[in-house]
Amino acid sequence: SQIATYESWLASASPVYQEKLWNGRYYNLDSESGSRVVMADQLCGQFYSQLLDLPAIAPPERTLSALKTVYESCFKNFYDGKFGAANGLLPDGSPANIKDTHPLEVWTGINFGLAAFMVQVEMKKEAFELTEAVVKQIYENGLQFRTPEAITATGTFRASHYLRAMAIWAIYLSIVNC
């Protein structure tokens, strides 16, 4: 059956995933570049698996460690949490390359998904703090009727009316189901 095939793939891929990407605090971007970037959305697959009641991809203690690292590195260390979690920063919150654009953006939908995931793993305080920062950016900048995909620390935004921001409803779903 197809389910057995997927279960087999998960069983064979999981040890490799853990061995190649886990660095003791969070999951690396890849297994070869040596990048130390903490990617905010590094566990989106685990989030969806948990949301859909599928088998875990990452062990709970590693999931929690990675989420705490994302919270500190990409949110708290990025302009003191004023904007939300940036897509990808070094553990100290600095950019790997100051000229990069996407890693320094706060993607609203990714942040709402991240907050929903935090609710699922009992990081509610952190989830609401992150959500509040993003919502403030949207409303204080008059973007509530054209919620963008990306917000920057320089006050710019792009991709108005982006649907991924509807991930805010995943926060509600996570609260109700936890």
Q: Which of 139, 134, 167, 166 is nearest to 153 (CA)?
A: 134
Backbone angles phi, psi at 7, to 5 degrees: -65, -40
pLDDT at 156: 86
Split at pLDDT 50, 70, 90, the class of 168 is: confident
What is the longest distance spanned by two Cα atoms in the chain?
A: 52
Q: What value does the mean pLDDT take over residues 131-140?
A: 94
Percent of the chain whose pLDDT exceeds 70: 99
Percent of the chain whose pLDDT exceeds 90: 69
pLDDT at 178: 67
pLDDT at 100: 84
Split at pLDDT 50, 70, 90, the class of 142 is: confident
Amino acid at site 18:
Q
pTM across the whole model: 0.92
Cross-strand partners of 158: 150
Report d(CA 73, CA 39) in Å as an integer: 9
pLDDT at 102: 85
Average pLDDT, the chain: 92
- Range scoring the smallest mean pLDDT among 113-117, 119-123, 128-132, 174-178: 174-178
Domain range holding 101? 2-177
Cross-strand partners of 151: 106, 157
Is residue 169 pLDDT above 70, yes or no? yes
The count of structural domains within the chain is 1
Residue 146, CA atoms < 13 Å, CB-side half-sphere? 7
In CATH, what number is assigned to the domain containing residue 30? 1.50.10.10
